[in-house]
Amino acid sequence: MTKSLDILTVSELTRQIRLQLESSFDSVWVEGEISNLRSPSSGHLYFTLKDENSQIKTVVFRSHMRFLKFEIKDGIQVISRGRVSVYEPRGDYQLIVDYIEPKGVGALQLAYEQLKERLKSEGLFDNSHKKPLPLLPRKIGLVTSSSGAAVQDMINIILRRFPSIEILILPVRVQGEGASSEIAHAIEELNRISGIDVMIVGRGGGSLEDLWAFNEEIVARAIYHSDIPVISAVGHEIDFTISDFVADLRAPTPSAAAELVVPNKSELVSYLENWMGRLENLVFQSLESNRNKLGFLEKRLSDPRRRIDDFRLRIDDIFNHLSVNTSNLLRRKAEQLERKKDALISRSPKGRIGELKNFVSQLNKEIDVHIRHYLGNQRHRFERSLEGLDRLSPLNVLRRGYSITRALPDYSILKDVKGLKVGDRINVKLHRGEIIGQIKQLIEGT
């Protein structure tokens, strides 16, 4: 009876089960929670999909890993597409997945949040790493598409605000396969070009998929390692990418980046002219103030020679005044004489001619005596003034045999022996020359 039965080997049974399963479940969608995730050196992913009641072993081969936009972790609820297969050596059946996405949130959005959190934890967003933008760059690098409207807007705005700025464009693809690698390479290339002061990395608006190249880790790290300050200008004002968080400055749009990167030349010139005017006024005020202080100090300086000069000027003024008065007096007397002479001639007083001659002669003598006496008094006052100034002169005192004794080393003038001690050095100023000596004995006196 046993010979009539169709007996299968384990391998034959397993193979038939495999063929049946693979033909019946060649493409299925399965929802479940990821658990027991592991990634061996082969690069494949192995995990378990489970729900409240059951579980199935799952594998994602390395060839399909490049299509994943998010990081697979334990505990994530996912929807996956694949086929059911049987691993014959162990008789296990498993789900081979070729597409997977998170449930309830898009794969791109989840990948964005995961990368953002990871880079933030590494410190790529820290303000301490952000470099200041130059006030007035001489050369600007643009990493963007050469055919989009964004690049033309940036060029027009930059040249309108500051026509002499030099612009270097490195054209790249800004979306699609390989765009992120081109953007990262262009950033690195600009850092190898000398003279670039700042760069703008960006593109115009679009969907999350269109902007995704600027959410790739390779672009974020290229911006972070750039020695040149980077302005990220991706999409519209409401769009935020990973590049925005890593860059030294985020601009809401490419046009806004062009306005931020260079000042308006006319406004800058006006600003500088205003400050030049203020600086000139400050310098003028400072010079005027110092000139007034100098004039005040000059007036306060006391110099005996200036006092002598003042006296000389006063004497000259007095002499001039005396000369004028004398001339006026002589003129008036001469006029009086002429009038009297005319009166005498008109009356013809022959008897009084001699008397009048004597009177005139006497009058001239008196005038001459008066003038000589007045000049003698003035000369005597001047000589007394000079003698007084000469007596007050320290040099004249020294000339009479006196001296000035000063303590060394500060040359302070000594008036008594208080504060001195034997051994101190002194300086004695004479009319001609000086003496340096040392105190051998101190004698106090009244």
Q: Are residues 126 and 219 in the same domain?
A: yes
Looking at 49, 83, 104, which one is the last position of a domain? 104
Q: How many residues does the chain have?
A: 446
Q: Which domain holds residue 21?
A: 8-104
**By C-alpha distance, which of 270, 240, 235 is closest to 256?**
235
Residues 67, 124, single domain; the answer is no
Higher pLDDT, 248 or 389: 248
Q: What is the per-residue pLDDT for 1?
A: 47
- Quote the CA–CA distance of 40 and 46 in Å, as a whole number: 8
**Residue 89 maps to a domain:** yes
Q: Which of the two residues, 72 and 365, has the higher pLDDT score? A: 365
Any domain includes 120:
yes
CA distances to 17, 44, 222, 367 from 66, rounded to whole Å, are: 31, 11, 21, 132
In a shared domain, residues 48 and 24: yes
Q: 413 in a domain, yes or no?
A: yes
Mean pLDDT of all residues in 73-88: 80
pLDDT of 199: 95
130 and 241 housed in the same domain? yes
Q: Do 329 and 367 touch, CB atoms closer than 8 A? A: yes
- Per-residue pLDDT, 171: 93
Q: Does 72 share its domain with 24?
A: yes
At 209 the pLDDT is 77
**Residue 260 in this model has a pLDDT that exceeds 50:** yes
The pLDDT score that the predictor gives to residue 349 is 60
pLDDT tens sequence across 277-301: 788 788 888 888 888 888 777 666 6
CATH of the domain at 128: 3.40.50.10550
Give the number of domains in the chain: 4
Answer yes or no: is pLDDT of 414 > 80. Answer: yes
Q: What percent of the chain has pLDDT over 70?
A: 90
Q: Does 367 fall in a domain?
A: yes
> Residue 151: is its pLDDT beyond 70?
yes
Q: Are residues 198 and 136 in the same domain?
A: yes
**Does residue 284 sit within a domain?**
no
Q: Please provide the average confidence, as pLDDT, over all residues in the chain.
A: 83
Whole-Å CA distances, 392 to 26, 304, 308, 405, 416: 129, 9, 12, 18, 22
Statement to judge: residues 352 and 433 lie in one domain? no
Mean pLDDT over residues 78-101, rounded?
82
Confidence of residue 104 (pLDDT cuts 50, 70, 90): low
Residues 410 and 387 in one domain: no
Q: Write out pLDDT tens, residues 331-359.
A: 888 888 888 777 767 666 666 677 778 88
- Position 76 scores a pLDDT of 77
426 and 411 part of one domain: yes
Q: Are residues 352 and 246 in the same domain?
A: no
295 belongs to a structural domain: no
Which of 104, 136, 158 corresponds to the end of one domain?
104
Tens of pLDDT, residue by residue over 17-59, are 878 777 778 778 888 888 888 888 877 888 888 888 888 888 8
Pair (46, 129) in one structural domain: no
Give the CATH number for residue 73: 2.40.50.140
Residues 230, 158 share a domain: yes
Q: Is residue 275 part of a domain?
A: no
Residue 2 above 70 pLDDT? no
Residue 283 lies in a domain: no
- pLDDT top residue among 69 and 287: 287
Last residue in a domain, options 74, 104, 134: 104
Q: Residue 378: what pLDDT?
A: 87
3-class SS letters over 162-183: CCCCEEEEEECCCCCCCHHHHH
Whole-prediction pTM value? 0.46
